[in-house]
Amino acid sequence: MHCAMHTLCINRNTINVEVDTMFKIKDDKIETENKTIRFPLPLINKIEEAIKGKNVTFSRFVIQACEYALENMNDKSKDSGK
């Protein structure tokens, strides 16, 4: 479940983004709170292309990508003894 992330690991259909087959888009719902965040337009376009035809919203995809990144950062820091 490791991913050498120079940027977000999104999925194998996205151009110029690190690929990791361990990241799967899920369509489950969870309790949320609104936050405002600005995304670069090229990243928005890549995310929208990645979720096209899937039963997932932009927000849910970003949440899953953040959860995945955080889980893997924690695994990496445990491995290095930090």
Mean pLDDT computed over 75-79: 59
pLDDT band at residue 2 using 50, 70 and 90 as cut-offs: very low
Question: Would you state the pLDDT for residue 23?
Answer: 76
Given a cut of 50, whether residue 5 has pLDDT beyond it is no
Which DSSP helix (H) or strand (E) runs through 51?
helix 41-51
pTM, whole model, 2 decimals? 0.55
Number of domains in the chain: 1
To the nearest 10 degrees (0 to 180), the angle between helices 41-51 and 58-79 is 100
pLDDT band, very low/low/confident/very high, at 32 (cuts 50, 70, 90):
confident
Centre a 10 Å sphere on the Cβ of residue 23 and count the other Cβ atoms it contains.
Answer: 20
One-letter amino acid at 22 equals M
Residue range of the domain that includes 12 = 1-82
Radius of gyration of the chain measured on its C-alpha atoms: 13
pLDDT at position 15 is 40
- Candidates 46, 1, 5, 49; CA nearest to 21 is 1
